[in-house]
Amino acid sequence: MATYTDSLREAARRLLRSNGGSLYVPRDLLSESEKLILTISDLVPSKIDPPIILCSNGKEIRYHNGENENFLIGVDEPDLTYCWVNSKRSDSGQYWEDFRLMVTSLASAGYPGCIGCGGPGSEGPWDEISARSY
């Protein structure tokens, strides 16, 4: 059974190891998401194809690249092709800040270009079905 942090870490790993795609964020996070993408490109210079940032319709954060690296941070449970981070499970209530810190932490540690720096569960395949059974 995965925790909020496990699912959040998997979403961050997916963003860091993917190229291109679309990152949908609430309108009030457009500027913050642009700053995060710039931080990623500073920390992971090999990531040459950043996602396009688009405005989502609600409060969710969603990434889609068509390569099974998809994730959704929000309340509504998506289909199993997405890593779902249930934003209601955030202890801080600040799921964007949780995500930003996780992405920055992993990128600073050298992910995805390092062995073992992706945190717990990074070496094996992600089991979304088990992650949702809490």
How do residues 36-87 score in pLDDT, each as one tens digit? 999 999 998 888 899 999 999 899 999 999 878 899 999 999 999 999 999 9
Residue-wise pLDDT tens digits, 21-45: 999 999 999 999 999 999 999 998 8
Question: In whole angstroms, what is the distance from residue 7 CA to residue 81 CA?
Answer: 14
Domain membership of residue 11 as a residue range: 4-131
> Residue 76 burial (CB < 10 Å; 0-12/13-18/19+)?
exposed
- Of residues 83 and 125, the one with the higher pLDDT is 83
